[in-house]
Amino acid sequence: MPAMPPDRPPTVRFSTLGLPPRDQFEGWRASVGITHEMTGMGDLARRGFVASVDSWRLGSVVVAIRRFPAMTFERPARRARADGLDHYSLLLMRDGVYDGDADGRATRLARGEAGLFDLARPEASRVGDNESLRLLVPRAQLDPLLRGPPAGLYGRALGGAPGTLLTGYLGLLAESLDRLTAVEAPLVGSAARDMLAACLAASLGLDARAQAEAAAMPIRETRLAQVRRFIDSRLTDPALGPEMICRALALSRSALYRLFEGGSGVAAEIQERRLAAIRARLADPAEGARIGELAYAYGFTSEAHFSRAFRRTFGMAPREVRLTATTVRKAPPASASGTEWDGPRTA
């Protein structure tokens, strides 16, 4: 497995697709079986087993996204005693259905539902083809935030407003994982822990204000990043605006505007990102479109308006950016000695 770039959090990716069909199940069991034992597999080991897992270490918190076909597995008490993993595991079913027994409590999680499990307790389960997200949080970090173990929630689907808020947040977290830097990862992990604590506290009827306040800023930043990614994906769409963003991301207008409080607003954000995209294209020596064509393609209604906005943002005219790119493209290479090229040399 190639090493992760130094600016990225520790990440492990495993897929059985790179293995011969006869070795796929054993490869999966060796990778994932460190916490759970596979049972009732029938002929899966013989006919192939296509599955994958991606996991990210966010400080003391681990997030794993797994995709695998129908199977049964269990975590018996002896396994829990042997490996000593003292973590809570929040399971979000992104696709498929989970049916199981969580230390004697029947548990069912449908698509979009999340439930809390305790790796110190036994578990047995059956799932169909599925994709799931697991959030692993050390007990020593979560219990103090809840004034003790959340025993009443073990093995239950988290419902109501806390469950909806938590599953929505985890969806945003999943979208952000591959963009996190090594510096951001522990902060996001702490935010995920605090968000989980706030939602569990609310489900238990506890005062969740402290946890909610701790998680508010990271949640806002995650939501803001999602809005910006959506804007970037629609920069050339003339209909791009608050209404489109709210409809696509299930946001109210007030919630969207709150995200940009303290800044110049949603419309200005869209214009700034359009200008940045145009500047990147003008700086590309291979870009052949006229400046006016780019302006109209990115929603500007006149070249004059575009030029004024561009100069106001970047301190130079669009043609200056293009001229610089053209000059760089035409510049001769440096000499072998590394000095500036000063014309042809003679022997």
- Per residue in 6-48, pLDDT (tens digit) is 688 899 999 999 999 888 888 888 877 778 888 766 555 567 8
Per residue in 168-227, pLDDT (tens digit) is 889 888 988 988 888 889 988 998 998 899 889 888 887 766 666 666 666 677 778 878
What dotted CATH number matches 237-330?
Answer: 1.10.10.60
Percentage of residues in the chain with pLDDT exceeding 70?
Answer: 87
| Superfamily (CATH) of domain 11-233 | Jelly Rolls (2.60.120.10)
In angstroms, the CA 192 to CA 173 distance is: 8
Confidence of residue 2 (pLDDT cuts 50, 70, 90): very low
Question: What mean pLDDT comes out for the span 139-164?
Answer: 89
Q: Does the pTM exceed 0.75?
A: no
The domain segmentation of the chain, as residue ranges, is 11-233, 237-330
CA distance 281 to 250: 31
